[in-house]
Amino acid sequence: MDIIAKLGSPFSKPDFTIGVATSSFQIEGDAEHREKSIWDTFCETPGKIADHSHGLVACEHVKHWESDIDIIDALNVDAYRFSVSWPRVIRQDGSVNDDGLAFYIGLLDRLIEKGIRPYVTLYHWDLPQYLEDEGGWLNRQTAYAFEKYAEVVVKAFGNRVYSYATLNEPFCSAYLGYEVGIHAPGMVGKEFGKKAIHHLLLAHGLAMRVLREHAPTIESGIVLNFTPFYPASNEEKDVIATKLAHDHHNDWYIKPLIHGEYPELIKHIPNAHKPDVHPGDMEVISESIDFLGVNYYTRARVQDNGSEDPHQMPPAEGKETTAMGWEVFPQGLTDLLVQLHRDYTLPPIIITENGLASDDEMTPDGQVKDLQRQRYLNSHMNAVADAMAQGVNITGYFVWSLMDNFEWALGYEKRFGILYVDYDSQVRTLKDSAKSLQAMLVKRKALHNQG
């Protein structure tokens, strides 16, 4: 099966960026050369990770980075999105780990040499444990620590980076990590989530200022994940519940960035749940961004349950789902992008993550026939093209993920990669989805070279 049925779509244009993405904790391993992160602690806590695994070894990317770049190069992608591990860069005593920085500088230099544009994310959830010990994202000081860390990285990387994202999916850090506790650091309480997100957004704004000062020509922004919500019925109460879910889980994250204020909902939540907003914070948070990264996987249908946290229903009987149990719903991506475009005046959007987990198995002759992933990527790329046809300015698309990796609380059981990773041998094998993406990118390059 060919990926991207609609050739001739924006995806074939040279100014549209196509890439693959990973994150530090999920692939790097080499834990002995960095500080401990909150995810190490979480993995050590019994019952937190489905397969009792950890990120100490992961895909051993720190060991195999050169051959990993060779594979990325062979795919013919334009760009590679990866994150920097904060605990690999700043030690507990505040000193800079030069070896940690050198690892990333080597990676950046090699990507540049190969003509692959580096998209760097500064924070993809691996907070140093020594900062969590001081309160983590519930402590305002963590935002200032992030500002300092960003400055160290940006100065060291110089002009090697093509694009910076401050944070990846702060919803997950704040809500999953501090409110419902299914992610590190595993705190549970309605009084925590919105406090944590305020400090994360503050950290973003402070880092944006650092980027503006030290990397003024490099495009910089943030990556948010969104779930488009749909009412489970036409009943008014479900429609109202759907708006509430949207305000809590989507608007709460984007509105402060773009409009410098939280949604109206802030007036209606208990005082104990409100963030500690200091004078001037919202100006910092709404520092202008050059792009908005959008991560999309699925949608949710919402049913009123009388609470302020409406019920998100599982996919309806008969709907196609992924190995995560998530509904395959490409229309949701188009709807989301069109809605964001309608509700906000946005900078260009980049789809910074999209993909699925499937129960991939290798055949005896070494093939991985991940047809569902190919269909998924195809339909979602077409969904992006549809949004562009409706006027949404989208400049890139990244597949999540380059390779199978540590899927957080679900360990290694969920395979999101277009490369199959044998965790015993650490051999990477191109799944059929990678081969068809590669074929599409080779064709595309040939078209560009023809002129």
Site residues (vs ligand IFM, CB under 6 A): 23, 26, 169, 295, 353, 400, 407, 416
Establish whether 169 is a catalytic residue: yes
The DSSP annotation for 99-132 comes to HHHHHHHHHHHHHHHTTPEEEEEEESS--BHHHH
Catalytic residue among 28, 287, 353, 407: 353
CA angle 226, 227, 228 (to 5 degrees): 115
- Rounded to a whole number of angstroms, the minimum distance from the CB of residue 26 to ligand IFM is 6
CB-CB contact of 20 with 401 (8 Å): yes
Nearer to ligand IFM, 291 or 400 (CB): 400
Please give the structure tokens belonging to residue 363. 């055949």
CB-CB contact of 303 with 310 (8 Å): yes
Nearer to ligand IFM, 125 or 149 (CB): 125
Please give the structure tokens belonging to residue 268. 């209606």
- Rounded to a whole number of angstroms, the minimum distance from the CB of residue 407 to ligand IFM is 5
- Rounded to a whole number of angstroms, the minimum distance from the CB of residue 141 to ligand IFM is 26
Token match 């046809």: residue? Answer: 389
| Cα separations in angstroms, 309 against 19, 242, 249, 269, 446 | 36, 10, 10, 11, 51
- Rounded to a whole number of angstroms, the minimum distance from the CB of residue 233 to ligand IFM is 29
Side-chain half-sphere CA neighbours of 368 within 13 A: 27
Nearer to ligand IFM, 42 or 400 (CB): 400
Token match 């059929």: residue? Answer: 432
Please give the structure tokens belonging to residue 182. 């299914």
Nearer to ligand IFM, 360 or 407 (CB): 407
Catalytic residue among 28, 35, 132, 169: 169
Look up residue 58 and give its amino acid. A
| Beta bridge mates, 293 | 223, 350
φ, ψ at 402 (rounded to 5°):
-55, -50
Establish whether 113 is a catalytic residue: no
283: left (phi over 0), alpha (psi -120 to 50) or beta: alpha
- Rounded to a whole number of angstroms, the minimum distance from the CB of residue 200 to ligand IFM is 15
- Rounded to a whole number of angstroms, the minimum distance from the CB of residue 280 to ligand IFM is 31
Nearer to ligand IFM, 62 or 224 (CB): 224
Give 36: exposed, middle or buried? Use CB within 10 Å, 0-12, 13-18, 19+: middle
φ, ψ at 108 (rounded to 5°):
-60, -45
Nearer to ligand IFM, 295 or 372 (CB): 295
The DSSP annotation for 361-426 comes to ---TTS----HHHHHHHHHHHHHHHHHHHTT--EEEEEEE-SB----GGGTTSSB--SEEEETTTT
Nearer to ligand IFM, 284 or 419 (CB): 419
- Rounded to a whole number of angstroms, the minimum distance from the CB of residue 124 to ligand IFM is 6
- Rounded to a whole number of angstroms, the minimum distance from the CB of residue 246 to ligand IFM is 19
- State the Cα–Cα distance between residues 365 and 207, nearest whole angstrom: 48
Nearer to ligand IFM, 23 or 242 (CB): 23
Q: Mind telling me the catalytic residues?
A: 169, 353
